[in-house]
Structure 1
Amino acid sequence: MSNSEISDVQARRVWDSRGLPTVEVEVRTRSGGLGRAIAPAGASCGTHEAVELRDGGDRLGGKDVSRAVANVEELIAPALRGVDARDQCGVDAKLDGLDSSGAFRTLGANASVATSLAVLHAGAQSTGVPLWRHVADTFDRAPSIPLAETQIFGGGAHASGRVDVQDFMIMVPGAGSFDESMVVTAEIYRAAGRCMAEQGRLAGVADEGGWWPNFDSNEQALDMLMRAIEAAGETPGERVVISLDIAATQLRHGSGYRMALEGALLDADGFSERIARWIERYPIVAIEDPFAEDAYENFARFRQRTAAIQVVGDDLLVTNALRVREAAAAGACNTALIKVNQAGTVSRAVAALDEAHRAGWRTIVSARSGESEDVSIVHLAVGLGAGQLKVGSFARSERMAKWNECVRIEQALGSKAFVAGEPLTNTWWARSGQRAAKSSSGAN
């Protein structure tokens, strides 16, 4: 009998950053070790992702999770008792075996992911190493400190559709360390608030902590972001660049896309043209979900047109290895967003990440809009060597807990583990910097 064998699994209802109920699971081992994790939840969800289980009805707006909690204690706990917590793949296979739906419709993905992550924590405690190291050892990876992708303005489903684009974000690939990238990000975030206040547009924060997008157009938000970067003492397109999450599934209207702020209905080609113009005008190096979740051909044409930037699949891929493989065959993307709760277990999420890397893609480990103090995804991003991390904005404790955890891990690993390093090693960053230089010299 191993001391790392699971002796008990318990679940409870806790509350996420939107004040909605979610599932927390605790896994105990025979040695007295404890692993604990909380399931996140998304506001903008892909049709094909693993399905969280909610109670329905009138109580808590139908969002209660008592059935998911019961499933952990009545179905999952008996199946996992006696299993070695260090055997992550074995645990996740048992979770798969308890739900024949393939999408955790019976157990609830909120139950399965909280359990899978809690086991990961318990396994790390059993081996006496930090969680990121346990992840690296379990999946045979070289750990690294990821590049942060940070929301400055939150729109779309995160801000009641106040602007069409869901996330206006920055990255600092020109920083020499994660800590330095946080300093730059903090300056830009504060500058954005000041710039909005000066124009009478400061109206609070959105779901993920980004400034509420009190703008009259998407372009006005981009102009304000450029102004904030400059007000922070940076030159847009040098060491600071922009990324956008279009979340186009939320904008789909029939066969086209509705731009609500301007009352326009665009077909796929017109929508592509609109985004391409933004890329030419602003130092944008990554576009997430530029089309709806099943529009493989539109993604592929857009990727060919904008080959130098990251074309990121989220709703298109939903952290599913098979969908990543299909998208790679179609030439639809070059970057996969990895959300562990979309997959339902850690092992499924790693399988999707592996499939993306086999295709030669980059990967971004991502949080959800409904988050908590749980920092598991930071350790996954580091331990798996994912390269990039997206957790929301530079405000609200559920976001800052994750950025701060990355600061701590960098102190342990050293700044040489930061993926950006020499900025010219990032060809997508270099391309943006070259364009900005041409623009500033009048060679546009």
Structure 2
Amino acid sequence: MIQPTGAKTFSEGLRMAAETYHALGKILQGKYGVGATNVGYEGGYAPPLNKTRDALDAIMSARDAAGYEEEIKIGLDSAASSFYLDGGYSMDGDRLSPGELIDYYVDLVNTYPIILLEDPFEEEAYDDFARLTAKLPGAIIVGDDLYVTNMKRLEKGIKMCASNALLLKLNQIGSVSEAFDAARMSFRAGWKVMASHRSAETEDSALADVAVALGCELLKTGAPARSERTAKYNQLLRIQEELGEAAGYARI
């Protein structure tokens, strides 16, 4: 995920992200061929990369090519439940214990301008989440599969200091009011809330309105490509235009 932290407005941040996205496409096409710019459900590219650091290096090159060496940071959605089995994690051809994976993340954060990690461990690993959150006090540690927008799981995470941010999916818990309650619980705990799309999205732009209404500092809605993704960004542009000088841009 691209984090345009150096922008002063949402529209400026969107431009930075879009220019970096297209710079990345050119880099991948030049190195791997046109097939590397095929996109997935969320508009992201699908190049034939074997190592995590290869992907991060490509993003860094795109950021620099777009001219945003200082303005762009990185967020990672590890989706760690997908590579967890029998107490260990398969990572870049190696099998890592939870402790080794913590060290791996710390090394990545120290090497790259990573400010956000989503689902760095499997969905029941509250203790490991808490250990990483304590080790990286300056990073945003987001729980998605860990909480599934569920109040009981979220309450446990807050008590254990398992993370410091919630991924909010409106249709995940069953009702909009329950999702809003989860967001409010997170805010009361001093956490950040990242409003999120789903992989199988529509062109409905309500998520943008919800993110602004709740005061979410973060929004995850895919690459600036495909109409079901750009619809949310376009709605945020309209909201910014309507609010004028009253429109804020979160500093994270």
Count residues with an aligned counterpart: 250
Q: Which amino acid aligns with 2:39?
A: V
Cα 1:369–1:415 change in 2 (3 A) is: farther
| TM-score scaled by length of structure 1 | 0.55
From 47, 51, 55, the counterpart of 1:213: 47
Counterpart of 1:161 in structure 2 is none
CA–CA distance in 2 between the matches of 1:344 and 1:268?
32
Q: Which amino acid aligns with 1:407?
A: L
CA–CA distance in 2 between the matches of 1:358 and 1:384?
13
Alignment of 1:291-370 (within 5 A): 291-370=121-200
Establish whether residue 227 from structure 1 lines up as the match of residue 64 from structure 2.
no
Counterpart of 1:171 in structure 2 is 3
Q: Deviation of residue 415 (structure 1)? A: 4.8
Q: Which amino acid aligns with 2:114?
A: I
From 191, 216, 233, the counterpart of 2:23: 191
Counterpart of 2:74 in structure 1 is 242
CA–CA distance in 2 between the matches of 1:352 and 1:296?
18
CA–CA distance in 2 between the matches of 1:176 and 1:311?
24
Counterpart of 1:145 in structure 2 is none
Q: Deviation of residue 175 (structure 1)? A: 0.9
Which range moved further: 386-395 or 409-418? 409-418
Establish whether residue 374 from structure 1 lines up as the match of residue 204 from structure 2.
yes
Runs of at least 4 residues of structure 1 off by over 6 A? none
CA deviation digits over 1:267-325, x for unaligned, max 9?
10111111111101000000001101110100000001011110000000111122111
Counterpart of 1:258 in structure 2 is 90
Counterpart of 2:116 in structure 1 is 286
CA–CA distance in 2 between the matches of 1:224 and 1:278?
14
Counterpart of 2:12 in structure 1 is 180
Q: Deviation of residue 213 (structure 1)? A: 3.2
CA–CA distance in 2 between the matches of 1:201 and 1:330?
47
Alignment of 1:91-110 (within 5 A): none
CA–CA distance in 1 between the matches of 2:168 and 2:245?
24
Counterpart of 2:240 in structure 1 is 410
Report if aligned partners of 2:2, 2:73 keep a CA contact under 8 Å in 1. yes
Q: Deviation of residue 201 (structure 1)? A: 4.8
Residue segments in structure 1 that go unaligned for 5+ positions in a row: 1-168, 427-444
SS in 2 for 1:343: coil
Report if aligned partners of 1:192, 1:228 keep a CA contact under 8 Å in 2. yes
Q: Deviation of residue 216 (structure 1)? A: 2.1
Q: Deviation of residue 218 (structure 1)? A: 0.8
Alignment of 1:142-157 (within 5 A): none
Residue segments in structure 2 that go unaligned for 5+ positions in a row: none
Q: Deviation of residue 212 (structure 1)? A: 0.9
CA–CA distance in 2 between the matches of 1:323 and 1:179?
35
CA–CA distance in 1 between the matches of 2:55 and 2:154?
31
Alignment of 1:81-100 (within 5 A): none
Q: Deviation of residue 173 (structure 1)? A: 2.0
Counterpart of 1:397 in structure 2 is 227
**Greater gyration radius:** 1
The CA RMSD over aligned residues, in Å, is 1.2
SS in 1 for 2:49: coil
CA–CA distance in 2 between the matches of 1:308 and 1:249?
24
Identical-pair percentage:
40
Cα 1:201–1:285 change in 2 (3 A) is: farther
CA–CA distance in 2 between the matches of 1:389 and 1:313?
14
Q: Deviation of residue 363 (structure 1)? A: 0.4
CA–CA distance in 2 between the matches of 1:413 and 1:381?
15
CA–CA distance in 2 between the matches of 1:332 and 1:213?
33
Report if aligned partners of 1:201, 1:215 keep a CA contact under 8 Å in 2. no
Q: Deviation of residue 416 (structure 1)? A: 4.0
CA deviation digits over 1:39-94, x for unaligned, max 9?
xxxxxxxxxxxxxxxxxxxxxxxxxxxxxxxxxxxxxxxxxxxxxxxxxxxxxxxx
CA–CA distance in 1 between the matches of 2:4 and 2:26?
20
CA–CA distance in 2 between the matches of 1:201 and 1:210?
16
Q: Deviation of residue 409 (structure 1)? A: 0.8
CA–CA distance in 2 between the matches of 1:224 and 1:415?
36
CA–CA distance in 1 between the matches of 2:53 and 2:10?
29
Report if aligned partners of 1:337, 1:363 keep a CA contact under 8 Å in 2. yes
SS in 1 for 2:221: strand
Report if aligned partners of 1:321, 1:352 keep a CA contact under 8 Å in 2. yes
CA–CA distance in 2 between the matches of 1:279 and 1:414?
36
Cα 1:225–1:373 change in 2 (3 A) is: same
Report if aligned partners of 1:177, 1:415 keep a CA contact under 8 Å in 2. no
Structure number having the greater helix percentage: 2
Q: Which amino acid aligns with 1:294?
A: E
